[in-house]
Amino acid sequence: MSLNTFGHLFRVTTWGESHGPALGATVDGCPPGIAIDEAMLQHWLDKRRPGQNKNMTQRNEPDAVQILSGVFEGQTTGTPIQLMIENTDQRSKDYGDIAQTFRPGHADITYHQKYGLRDYRGGGRSSARETAARVAAGGIARAALDALVPGIRIKGYMTRMGEMEIDRARFDWDAIDGNDFWIPDADAALEWEAYLQKLRKDHNSVGAIIEVVAQGAPAGLGAPVYGKLDTDLAAAMMSINAVKGVEIGEGMSAAMLLGTQNADEIFMGNDGEPVYSSNHAGGILGGISTGQDIVIRFAVKPTSSILSPRKSIRMDGTPTEVVTKGRHDPCVGIRAVPVGEAMMACVLLDHLLLHRGQVGDGPRGKIG
Amino acid sequence: MSLNTFGHLFRVTTWGESHGPALGATVDGCPPGIAIDEAMLQHWLDKRRPGQNKNMTQRNEPDAVQILSGVFEGQTTGTPIQLMIENTDQRSKDYGDIAQTFRPGHADITYHQKYGLRDYRGGGRSSARETAARVAAGGIARAALDALVPGIRIKGYMTRMGEMEIDRARFDWDAIDGNDFWIPDADAALEWEAYLQKLRKDHNSVGAIIEVVAQGAPAGLGAPVYGKLDTDLAAAMMSINAVKGVEIGEGMSAAMLLGTQNADEIFMGNDGEPVYSSNHAGGILGGISTGQDIVIRFAVKPTSSILSPRKSIRMDGTPTEVVTKGRHDPCVGIRAVPVGEAMMACVLLDHLLLHRGQVGDGPRGKIG
Amino acid sequence: MSLNTFGHLFRVTTWGESHGPALGATVDGCPPGIAIDEAMLQHWLDKRRPGQNKNMTQRNEPDAVQILSGVFEGQTTGTPIQLMIENTDQRSKDYGDIAQTFRPGHADITYHQKYGLRDYRGGGRSSARETAARVAAGGIARAALDALVPGIRIKGYMTRMGEMEIDRARFDWDAIDGNDFWIPDADAALEWEAYLQKLRKDHNSVGAIIEVVAQGAPAGLGAPVYGKLDTDLAAAMMSINAVKGVEIGEGMSAAMLLGTQNADEIFMGNDGEPVYSSNHAGGILGGISTGQDIVIRFAVKPTSSILSPRKSIRMDGTPTEVVTKGRHDPCVGIRAVPVGEAMMACVLLDHLLLHRGQVGDGPRGKIG
Amino acid sequence: MSLNTFGHLFRVTTWGESHGPALGATVDGCPPGIAIDEAMLQHWLDKRRPGQNKNMTQRNEPDAVQILSGVFEGQTTGTPIQLMIENTDQRSKDYGDIAQTFRPGHADITYHQKYGLRDYRGGGRSSARETAARVAAGGIARAALDALVPGIRIKGYMTRMGEMEIDRARFDWDAIDGNDFWIPDADAALEWEAYLQKLRKDHNSVGAIIEVVAQGAPAGLGAPVYGKLDTDLAAAMMSINAVKGVEIGEGMSAAMLLGTQNADEIFMGNDGEPVYSSNHAGGILGGISTGQDIVIRFAVKPTSSILSPRKSIRMDGTPTEVVTKGRHDPCVGIRAVPVGEAMMACVLLDHLLLHRGQVGDGPRGKIG
C-alpha cells in the first residue's frame, strides 16, 4: 500500500514522475451525468502551469490534459476517469549531476532510504509536478460540486510570503485573479514582486501561507470521528509538497484565546438557517460543516532548490556541496494556490457523497 | 461510512458515547506475539483520567480498561483486540437542560443538522471521552513499537496555554511527568496553575499547544503521496476533539523563512547514518521519516463548556442563553497530551507495518 | 491489516474468540434514525443458537446480545453500534488435549504457521462462533433495509445435505421456518433428520448447500468492476466458516449451457418495469442488480470435528490420531442458513448506501 | 466509490472502455527493485489477445502495453505503475444499432438503470476488454512473486466447455500451452475445436469452467476473517466478466461428502514441512494457505452476444428482437484462462505483502 489514492467515495489516484513520459490521475467514484470536457480541466491546470511569468520557474510545460476514459458524449458515465498529462519539456541533463547526491530539504535521501533506489530525474515522484494531476482531478470535483451544490464557491489566495503579508482591511476578492501572487490586493502585488525578485537575485527562496475558503457548502458534511471534515482537509493540504502546517479557522492562535473569546454565538437567520456572530471555528464543529465559510490555511516552506551552496553527502557517504541548478520557483507557495483549491474541491465532493450515502438526500435535522 | 476507523494496517475503530454503558476500541492488525496486559494499558489511561487534580474536570471516572479478545496467555494472537471501558460516573441530569439547546462551540448543532437526532448526554459521540479509547489503543501500539523498534520513545508536553509559554532554554525532559500540565519545566508549573485557577474562577477557559516528539524512529517510514507520514500524523492530531491547527517541524513559521535558513544540511555520522545540521523539517522529508526526531505540534481551542453565558438558539429556533454546567476542564489541552502521544504511537506502528509490507524487513538504501 | 472488517459504507468489524469472555461486532456506517432494539437482534441470533434441537451441537449458549453504543432512545444515531455477546458455556477442558495437536480440516495448523501462536480453545478466532456476531450485525442491516426498501425480503434455506436434496416441485416458502433444517418442504424434514441422526451415530458429519434469495431489491445495486454485487456477495459467503463454493443464478452449471439457453429475455411489465423470461443470471447483470430475485448458493463442507479417528501430527511434528470430542454439529450447514441471510442483508444495505452515495436518491435511468 | 480497485496492499485500479481511446491499470503498492519491462507484460497479454485463431473473436487488437510510470532503469521504484493499452481496432458502427436497445444477458440495461446513461460502444466499461488491464497488472504481480517466492508457479486451464470435459487421467501440464483451449490434453483439443466450430455455425455460444492452480505458495497467507485467501480469490474470480460460480478445492461437491471423506490427514514430510494425504481443502484452511497447491475453479456463462435472435426491449420500452452482430468469442471461457491466472497472481502477491506487513519476514510457527 504505497497510498497514492485519496478520498473515500470520490477517489483520486495520481501517478507519474516529473520526467517520465506522462503523469496523471485516475478518478473513481464521480457521479454520472456531470458535463466534463478537457477545456474545463485545462482552465484550472493553466492556473498552476509553470513558465507563465517571471515569478515562476521558467520550465515551460503546456500541461495539456487528455481524458482517456469515463466521459462519453460530454458526460461522466460513473466509471473511472483517466486524466493524462504528457511531459514534454524535460531537461534531464539538468539533474544528471544529482543522481549520486542528496539535495538538502529534498526527498532524495528518504526515497533512497525507503526504497533502495529512486528516479532522481527532477525528483521523480516527489516532484511538485505531481500536483498537476491533483488540479486536473480537482476540475472534475468542481464540476460535480457545481452540479450538486449550486452557488458553491472555492477560492484560494496567498496571505503571506516571507515578510510580505496581506492587509485584511484591503481584502478584495476581485483582485485575486489579477496578479501573479493570487493575493486579494492589487496594489500590494508590485511590492510582493519586488521582494521576490530580490530574493531570486540573491539565489534564495521563501515560504508562504495560502488560505482557501469554501462558500456555500451545506451544513452536515463530515464523518466523525476519523473522517471529520477538518481531518480530511488537513490531510489533503499536508499531503501537498512542502506543506509544514495546516490551520482551520483560528488555527494555532486558538491556543491564545479564552473560552469567552472563542465561542461563535448562534442566532436564527431570516431564512430559517442558523447564523453565527463570528467564525473562529472555520465553519466546522465536531468535524461537521456548520454552513458557514469553510476556512483553511497552510504554510509552504521555501523552495529547497536554490543556487546558494548547501552542505550534503553523496550516496557513498562522502561530503559535498550542492548548488541546485535547473529552473525552480523562488516561492512554490504561488503555485500551491490552485492545488489547495483542488484539494478543497475533492474533499468537499467526497464528503457530499459520503453524507448522502449514509444519510441520503432527504432533509435532515431542521431547526425551527 | 461514518469513518470511525483510523490506520491502514494497524486499524483502530473507536465506539461509544460519553454517557452510554461503555466505550472502547476495536484494534485490528496488531502483530502477533506482543506481550500485553490490562495494567500496561491502564498506565496510559491513568494519564488522561479526569478528576486527578484541581486543574481538571472533577468528573471521576476510573476508566478501567478490559481486554475482551485478541490476547491469549498474555500475548497478542494477531486477531482483533477489543478494549472496553465502562462508563460509571454519569450525571446525565447535568445535561438534561441542553437536550433542546445547542451549545456554542459544540457539535450539538452539527450532529443535529447531519443526523437529524443526537445523543445529547454529555455530547454523546462528540465528547472528548472518546479519546480514552484512543489512549487504550495507543497502549497496544506502544507495546508493539517497543518490541519492533527497541529504544523508540514517544513523549508529549504542553508548550503553551494562553499567555503561558515554555522557555526552551529551560527544557527538562524529566520534569514533564512531574507536574499537572506535562510541561518540561518544574518551576513554571506553579505559575501555570495560578493562571489557570484564575481563569476557572472567572468562569472561563483557555486554549493550548501540545508538542509530541518521537525519538528513535527509523528512516524510511511514510507512504507518499497520500499516506505521507506527516499527512497521517496531521490527520491523526486534527481528529482529536477541539484541535484547530497542526504543525510539523517549523510549521506555520516556515512561511517566514528563506531557503538558505530552512535547509537542513546533511553530514555523515560516525555510526554510518546521516546526521543533519538542524531539524526544520521535523524529521520528515517528502513524507518519509529521516531518522531524526519526529516533531509535531497541535493547537487545542479553549473549552467551549464555560459558566459564562453565551447566546444561542433552541431546536425550535428560539433564542436562548447557554451557561454550561457540569464538570469541565478549564483547559482541555492538558488531557490532550496523552492523546497526542497515543495517536503518534498508532501512526508510527501503522507505517512501520506498511513499510515492511511493501519493502520488507531487509536492509534498504544503505548510504556509504 | 488482519482484515476483520467487511463492507464499504456499512462496515462490520467482528471480534472475539470462541472461549474468550465475549465476542461481538462493531457496526459503523448505519444510517441514523433506524429503530433498533436488542429483541430485534435476538430474534435472528436465536435462529443460529446452538442447543436448540438434536440436530445441532448440544453446547448451550444463550447468545444474548447487548447494544453498547450507537443507539439512543431506540434509534440509531449514525455513530458506531457496538454489539456484544458474552460467552457463558465454555468447556475449555474439552479442548485442552488439542493444545499441542493440529486437527485435520481445522485452522489449527494454519493459524500456528501464520501467527506462531494460537488461542486453541474451541478454535479461538477460527471458530464458527464468530458467525453469531455476523447474525447480530445482519439484524441491524435488516432493520435499515426494511426502512429504506419497504417490502424487501431475504430468506435462506438448505437445498442439499449429503444425499438429501430438496424437490423444487414441492418448494414451500412457509415450510422453511417450521423444521430443523430450514428446508422448504415440511414432509421431507423427517427423512433428513433420520439421515443426519444415522450419520451422527456413525460418528460422522456431512456437507450441505444453502440458498439465499433476496426479493424486492431495487435495480441498480452494485459497483462495477471490483465491487460488483455478485463479487461482494461471493466474498461474503466464502468468508463464512467451511464454505468451499459459491454460485450466482445458474452457478457452475452455466458451463454446460448454450447462449441460446442462458439468455434471460427482456419484456416490459405492466408496471413500467422490465420483466424477464427467466433468471439464469440470478438477478445480477454486469455486477448490477436487475430488480429480479437475487439468488446465491454456497456449499459448506462436512464438520471437521468428528468422533472418528483421523491421522495428524503434534506441534513437535510427531504423528498422532485425533478424535475430536466436544459438542459439535453433525452438519454445520444448518446453522449457516441464518448466517447467509445476515451476509446478504449486510451486502445489500452496503450497496444501497454506495449507490445513493454515488448516484443519489433521484430517479435514475427510467425505461419507457 | 465505484470500486474499480482491487487488492489491499498491492492495489490495481483498472480504467477504460472497450471503444474509448485507451484502457489500462494503475498499479500501486508494488515492492521496489523488481525487474519489469513491457515485453514481460506483453507475453501475458498475448495469451488473451483476440484474433489469434478461429476459436476466438476476429477483432484484431495488438493490445500493446506501455509503462508510463513507476519503473526506472528497468526496475520498479515503489511508486504507482501506470499501464496503458491503446484501443486501435474499434468498429463502433457495429454497435450503433444497439444504442437504444438492451441486449439480453448484457449489462446494457443495468448500467442504464444505475447510471442513467452508458457508453454503449462495445459494452463500454462492462466489456471483457477490461480484463486486458488485469492481465497486464498480473504480469507485474507475477514478476514480484517470482522475486519474492522463487519457484512459485501459477497455471490455468479449461476443464469443461459445454459437453466437453477433460479426462483427469490424461492430465498433461505440458500440453496446456500447445492448444487453443488451454486444456491439459493435446489429443482432446481437436474434438473440442470441432464442438465449438459447430456451435459457432449454429450461431450459438457455450459456457466453460476454468481451473487455476498455484504451486509453491508458502503456508500462512490469508487474513482471517474477511480477507481470507479463499474469500479474496473468490471475489477476484467472480469479478471477471460472465463468471457465475467459484469453487475452492472440493467446491460445491463438498456438500455431498462425509466428514470422514473430506478430512485431509496430516503427516510430517521429510523436509520438516507437513504433508497431507489429500487436498479437498484446495490448499486453504481457515482462510490461510497450507502450503499445498492452491486450487480454484470458476464457471463462465456462454457468450451473450450471439447471432440467434433474442427478445428484448428498447429504451423507450417497446419490444424488439436482438441479433448481436460484431465479432464475438463463441466461448469467452477460453480467454478467461489468462485472466484467472492474473487474478491469482495479484491476490497471492497482495497476501504475501499483507502477511509480512503484519507478521514480518521472520520465521513463524515452525513445526517439529
Is B160 annotated for ligand binding? Answer: no
> E strands, B121-277, where?
153-161, 164-165, 208-215, 243-248, 266-268, 274-276
pLDDT for res D54? 75
Selected residue of D149, D352, D358, D366 to mutate for chain B interface (largest B Cβ count, 10 A):
D358
Is B241 annotated for ligand binding? Answer: yes
Chain-centre distance of CA D141, in angstroms? 13
Task: Read off the pLDDT of residues D50-59 as tens digits, 9 standing for 90 and up.
Answer: 667 777 776 6
Asked if A220 lies within 8 A of B264 by C-beta distance, the reply is: no
Cell output for B177: 511527568
Measured between beta carbons, the chain A residues lying within 8 angstroms of D13 are 5, 13, 26, 28, 80
Mean pLDDT, range D6-25, rounded to an integer? 97
pLDDT for res A175? 97
* Residue C263 confidence (pLDDT) above 90: no
Nearest to A31 among C353, C354, C358 (CB): C358
Asked if D359 lies within 8 A of B9 by C-beta distance, the reply is: no
pLDDT for res A49? 79
> E strands, B54-175, where?
65-67, 71-72, 75-76, 81-86, 153-161, 164-165
pLDDT for res C223? 96
DSSP string over B302-352: PPS--SS-EEEEBTTS-EEEE---S---S-THHHHHHHHHHHHHHHHHHHH
pLDDT for res C94? 57
* Residue A53 confidence (pLDDT) above 80: no
Q: Which residue has the cell 457530499?
A: A352
Asked if B115 lies within 8 A of C15 by C-beta distance, the reply is: no
Measured between beta carbons, the chain A residues lying within 8 angstroms of D29 are 1-2
pLDDT for res A307? 86
* Residue C1 confidence (pLDDT) above 90: no
Nearest chain B residue to A311 by CA: give it. Answer: B265
Asked if A125 lies within 8 A of D17 by C-beta distance, the reply is: no
Under the banding of pLDDT at 50, 70 and 90, the label for residue A61 is confident
CA dist list (Å): B275 to B269, C113, D209, D344: 5, 41, 60, 44
| pLDDT more than 90, % of chain C | 84
Nearest chain A residue to C224 by CA: give it. Answer: A79
Other chains touching A, judged by 3 or more CB pairs under 8 Å: B, C, D
pLDDT for res C365? 83
Nearest to C299 among D206, D251, D303 (CB): D251
> E strands, chain D, where?
5-6, 11-16, 22-28, 65-67, 71-72, 75-76, 81-86, 153-161, 164-165, 208-215, 243-248, 266-268, 274-276, 284-285, 288-289, 294-300, 310-313, 319-322
Measured between beta carbons, the chain D residues lying within 8 angstroms of A13 are 5, 13, 26, 28, 80
Is B228 annotated for ligand binding? Answer: no
Under the banding of pLDDT at 50, 70 and 90, the label for residue D150 is very high
* Residue B96 confidence (pLDDT) above 80: no
Other chains touching D, judged by 3 or more CB pairs under 8 Å: A, B, C
SS3 A192: helix
Nearest to B2 among C69, C72, C78 (CB): C78
| Residue A347 to residue A335: CA distance in whole angstroms | 19
Measured between beta carbons, the chain B residues lying within 8 angstroms of D356 are 356-357, 360-361
pLDDT for res D45? 95
Asked if A109 lies within 8 A of B290 by C-beta distance, the reply is: yes
- The verdict on pTM exceeding 0.90 is yes
Instruction: Give the range among B43-57, B99-113, C71-85 with minimum mean pLDDT.
Output: B43-57
Nearest to A69 among D16, D72, D117 (CB): D16
* Residue B302 confidence (pLDDT) above 90: yes
Measured between beta carbons, the chain C residues lying within 8 angstroms of A224 are 79
Closest chain B C-alpha to C310 CA, distance in angstroms = 27
| pLDDT more than 70, % of chain D | 95
Asked if C82 lies within 8 A of B15 by C-beta distance, the reply is: yes
Mean pLDDT, range C270-286, rounded to an integer? 95
Task: Read off the pLDDT of residues D307-344 as tens digits, 9 standing for 90 and up.
Answer: 889 999 999 999 999 987 766 789 999 999 999 999 99
Is D48 annotated for ligand binding? Answer: yes
Under the banding of pLDDT at 50, 70 and 90, the label for residue B270 is confident
Strand order in the sheet with B5-6: B5-6, B11-16, B22-28, B81-86, B65-67
Under the banding of pLDDT at 50, 70 and 90, the label for residue A58 is low
pLDDT for res C62? 85
Measured between beta carbons, the chain A residues lying within 8 angstroms of B254 are 207, 244-245, 299-302
Mean pLDDT, range C100-105, rounded to an integer? 94
Asked if A301 lies within 8 A of B280 by C-beta distance, the reply is: yes
| Residue B67 to residue C21: CA distance in whole angstroms | 9
Under the banding of pLDDT at 50, 70 and 90, the label for residue A89 is low
Selected residue of A18, A72, A352 to mutate for chain D interface (largest D Cβ count, 10 A):
A72
Interface of A with C (CB under 8 A): 9, 29, 31-32, 78-79, 224, 353-354, 356-362
* Residue B34 confidence (pLDDT) above 90: yes
| Residue D179 to residue D182: CA distance in whole angstroms | 6
Topology of the domain covering A5-359? Chorismate synthase, AroC fold (3.60.150)
Measured over the CA atoms of residue A134, residue B289, residue D364 and residue D275, the dihedral's sign is positive
Closest chain A C-alpha to B98 CA, distance in angstroms = 14
Under the banding of pLDDT at 50, 70 and 90, the label for residue A165 is very high
pLDDT for res A17? 97
Asked if D82 lies within 8 A of A29 by C-beta distance, the reply is: no
Q: Which residue has the cell 462551540?
A: B105
Closest chain C C-alpha to B265 CA, distance in angstroms = 37
pLDDT for res D271? 85
Is D310 annotated for ligand binding? Answer: no
Other chains touching B, judged by 3 or more CB pairs under 8 Å: A, C, D
Cell output for A220: 452536515
| Residue D167 to residue D238: CA distance in whole angstroms | 26
Nearest chain C residue to B25 by CA: give it. Answer: C26
| Total beta-carbon pairs less than 8 A apart between chain B and chain C | 159
Asked if A285 lies within 8 A of B357 by C-beta distance, the reply is: no
Under the banding of pLDDT at 50, 70 and 90, the label for residue C12 is very high
Instruction: Report the residue count for chain B.
Output: 368
Mean pLDDT, range B218-246, rounded to an integer? 97
Nearest to A353 among C29, C358, C361 (CB): C358
The answer, yes or no, to whether ipTM is higher than 0.90 is yes
Measured over the CA atoms of residue C113, residue C116, residue C121 and residue C124, the dihedral's sign is negative
pLDDT for res D272? 85
Mean pLDDT, range D42-49, rounded to an integer? 90
Nearest to A20 among D68, D117, D125 (CB): D68
Is B127 annotated for ligand binding? Answer: yes
* Residue C9 confidence (pLDDT) above 90: yes
| Residue A243 to residue B104: CA distance in whole angstroms | 32
pLDDT for res B92? 54
Task: Read off the pLDDT of residues D288-310 as tens digits, 9 standing for 90 and up.
Answer: 999 999 999 999 999 988 888 99
* Residue A221 confidence (pLDDT) above 80: yes
Nearest to A361 among C9, C353, C360 (CB): C360
Helix H or strand E encompassing A300: strand A294-300
Measured between beta carbons, the chain D residues lying within 8 angstroms of B349 are none
pLDDT for res A324? 78
Interface of C with A (CB under 8 A): 9, 29, 31-32, 78-79, 224, 353-354, 356-362
| Residue C114 to residue C102: CA distance in whole angstroms | 14
Asked if B31 lies within 8 A of D359 by C-beta distance, the reply is: yes
pLDDT for res B327? 67
Is A48 annotated for ligand binding? Answer: yes
Q: Which amino acid is at C329?
A: D
Nearest to C31 among A32, A359, A361 (CB): A359
Mean pLDDT score of chain B: 93
Better-scored residue on pLDDT, C204 or C307: C204
Task: Read off the pLDDT of residues C130-181 as tens digits, 9 standing for 90 and up.
Answer: 999 999 999 999 999 999 999 999 999 999 999 999 999 999 999 999 999 9
Where are chain D's structural domains?
5-359
Is D142 annotated for ligand binding? Answer: no
Nearest to A31 among C9, C224, C359 (CB): C359
Query: Of A55-69, A311-325, C70-84, C348-362, which has the strongest mean pLDDT?
Result: C70-84
| Total beta-carbon pairs less than 8 A apart between chain A and chain B | 425
Under the banding of pLDDT at 50, 70 and 90, the label for residue C356 is very high
Asked if B77 lies within 8 A of C13 by C-beta distance, the reply is: no
* Residue A124 confidence (pLDDT) above 90: yes
Under the banding of pLDDT at 50, 70 and 90, the label for residue A74 is very high
Task: Read off the pLDDT of residues D223-257 as tens digits, 9 standing for 90 and up.
Answer: 999 999 999 999 999 999 999 999 999 999 999 99
Beta-bridged to residue C274, according to DSSP, are C268
Is D201 annotated for ligand binding? Answer: no
Burial class (CB in 10 A: 0-12, 13-18, 19+), A191: exposed
Nearest chain D residue to A7 by CA: give it. Answer: D1
